[in-house]
């Protein structure tokens, strides 16, 4: 039986994206590869209608975490100090990365699932005058909370603090206002809302503020975005790229554009998620976060009484659906359902009825 992936990436592929993997073998030093790379770079900027003169899409081979780590290590200069806003696993991972690389930071911690408090942001910024950047997660996949960035970005902008954004699980399905929000870097990956294959990730950077880390102060060799940018801007690549994943991402971006871009993807995901949320409500399974604070991409639910995650997971898997457990302290109390990938509303109705068999 075909398994439908309702986990937050990798996602079920469309047939055309799967077929794209079978294109000819290609050397990453040949013109054909460079054309492919240039196409993907342009199409990624097109997702949010960004101007090529001001913005650069930098392509990496690695999962989403590699793009996030590249962003933090390459964009914060030696004397910089980053404020990291945490309200879930991925925000805390940003802090962990800065510790590994000995980047100076300051954390604004919230409990997992809690909304980011703008007042606390204002206060911590005024108490720490040496801050140079603010890093945070757009959609906290830990809980499904979509952090409302506009008011937070406004506070940072007034203090001239550019944003470093982990948008791995929102890029392509939620609004991202690069100009207005003062985004310096935005990290994402091929295999979430863009419906590509795992193995390729990218950072969209504001060209004006690149190059602040001088080569002699680079914190990383493989993940240095400045190296990638110089090379990709001059029709090269510093290292071997995930060629087949590039083929798949290029085709996924064609499909993305044809179906109507991020706005349509947002509407499609919401339609599926409404089906899921309504079905859960009828089974008295409570959502963790109110709808207006959730992403369209993933929602979390409390486990039904007397049913363990393992029982739930195994029943759904036997019937062709893969769900996702809670992380850390939430492992025993919640489960997560994502709507990304080549699935449709009928699949979600079927998912609800299969779940209903177990619950009732
Ligand atoms: C999936 C995800 C990542 C990256 O995870 P990988 O396993 O490295 O692909 C980073 N941040 C967020 C918010 C995510 O959802």
Tell me if 64 CB under 6 Å of ligand 1.
yes
pLDDT of 16 > 90? The answer is yes
Nearest by Cα to 120 from 138, 136, 144: 136
Number of H helices, E strands in the chain: 11, 14
Tens of pLDDT, residue by residue over 302-360, are 999 999 999 999 999 999 999 999 999 999 999 999 999 999 999 999 999 999 999 98
**What stretches of the chain adopt beta strand conformation (E)?**
4-5, 55-61, 81-86, 104-109, 133-137, 139-140, 145-146, 163-166, 183-189, 200-206, 298-302, 321-322, 324-325, 334-338
Residue 267 CA to chain centroid, in angstroms? Answer: 18
pLDDT band with cut points at 50, 70 and 90 for residue 210? confident
Q: Alpha helices, DSSP H only, in 63-117?
A: 64-75, 89-100
Tell me if 189 CB under 6 Å of ligand 1.
yes
Tell me if 137 CB under 6 Å of ligand 1.
yes
Ligand 1 center–CA 94 separation, angstroms: 11
Tell me if 289 CB under 6 Å of ligand 1.
no
96 phi-psi bin (left φ>0, alpha ψ -120 to 50, beta other): alpha
> Whose CA is closest to atom 2 on ligand 1?
168
Ligand 1 center–CA 260 separation, angstroms: 25
Tell me if 63 CB under 6 Å of ligand 1.
yes
The C-alpha atoms of residue 121 and residue 126 are separated, in whole angstroms, by 9
> Whose CA is closest to atom 6 on ligand 1?
64
Cut 0.85: pTM above it: yes
Share of the chain above pLDDT 90, in %: 96
Burial (CB < 10 A; 0-12, 13-18, 19+), residue 220, is middle
Q: Specify the ligand 1 atom closest to the Cα of 191.
A: 9
Sign of CA dihedral 195, 198, 200, 206: positive
């Amino acid at each position: 039986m075909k398994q439908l992936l309702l986990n937050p990436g990798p996602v079920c592929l469309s047939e055309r994206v799967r077929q794209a993997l079978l294109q000819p073998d290609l050397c990453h030093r040949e013109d054909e590869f460079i054309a492919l790379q240039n196409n993907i770079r342009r199409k990624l900027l097109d997702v949010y209608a960004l101007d090529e003169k001001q913005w650069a899409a930098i392509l990496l081979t690695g999962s989403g975490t590699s793009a996030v780590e590249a962003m933090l290590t390459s964009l914060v200069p030696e004397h910089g100090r980053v404020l990291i806003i945490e309200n879930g696993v991925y925000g805390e991972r940003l802090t962990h990365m800065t510790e590994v690389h000995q980047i100076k930071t300051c954390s604004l911690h919230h409990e997992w699932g809690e909304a980011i408090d703008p007042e606390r942001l204002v206060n911590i910024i005024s108490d720490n005058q040496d801050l140079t950047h603010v890093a945070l997660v757009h959609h906290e996949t830990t809980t499904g909370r979509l952090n409302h960035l506009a008011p937070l970005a406004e506070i940072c902008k007034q203090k001239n603090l550019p944003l470093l954004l982990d948008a791995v699980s929102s890029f392509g399905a939620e609004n991202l206002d690069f100009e207005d929000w003062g985004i310096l870097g935005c990290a994402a990956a091929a295999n979430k809302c863009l419906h590509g294959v795992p193995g390729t990730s990218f950072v969209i950077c504001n060209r004006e503020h690149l190059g602040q880390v001088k080569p002699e102060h680079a914190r990383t060799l493989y993940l240095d975005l400045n190296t990638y940018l110089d090379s990709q801007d001059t029709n090269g690549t510093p290292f071997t790229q995930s060629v087949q994943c590039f083929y798949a991402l290029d085709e996924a971006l064609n499909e993305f554009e044809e179906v109507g871009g991020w706005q349509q993807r947002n509407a499609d995901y919401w339609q599926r998620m409404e089906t899921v949320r309504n079905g859960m409500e009828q089974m008295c399974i409570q959502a963790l976060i109110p709808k207006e604070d959730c992403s369209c991409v993933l929602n979390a639910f409390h486990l039904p009484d007397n049913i363990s995650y393992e029982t739930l997971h195994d029943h759904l898997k036997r019937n062709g659906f893969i769900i996702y457990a809670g992380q850390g302290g939430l492992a025993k109390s919640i489960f997560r359902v994502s709507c990304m990938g080549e699935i449709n509303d009928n699949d979600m109705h079927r998912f609800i009825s299969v779940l209903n068999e177990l619950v009732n």
